[in-house]
Structure 1
Amino acid sequence: MTYQHDPTGSTRFVVEQDEEDQDFDIVYFGNDVYPGVDVLDPNSALSMQAAVAHEISHYHR
């Protein structure tokens, strides 16, 4: 799976197409993926791997 940092966007999972119209998966990591300041912030409870799994689960809903 491809990943990329997106400093101006939010963390998300998308399916994009390349020049040959082949689908590929990509996870964009935004600044919102970093741990929050307290336990009430959901990002405080997620590791980076858990954040990827979380974004992929949105796609499968």
Structure 2
Amino acid sequence: MIGLDKRYVWGVLPLIGFAIGHFLDKKETERMTLFRDKSALYGRPEGAERKPPSW
């Protein structure tokens, strides 16, 4: 190969997987913030319009 040992590739592969997973998790969290306090399950009770948002 390009001078890369198999042990090096197998040692770096989990780190690359972790980095990709971390990036995707952050993107999903960022996307889910769009739905805060808009779900019927987590919605505020009637008459609570003057309260600030939960976040």
Greater helix share, 1 or 2?
2
Q: TM-score range by the shorter chain?
A: under 0.3
TM-score by structure 2 length?
0.27
Relative contact order (alpha carbons < 8 A, sep ≥ 6): 1 or 2 greater?
Answer: 1
TM-score by structure 1 length?
0.24
Please identify the structure whose Cα radius of gyration is greater.
2
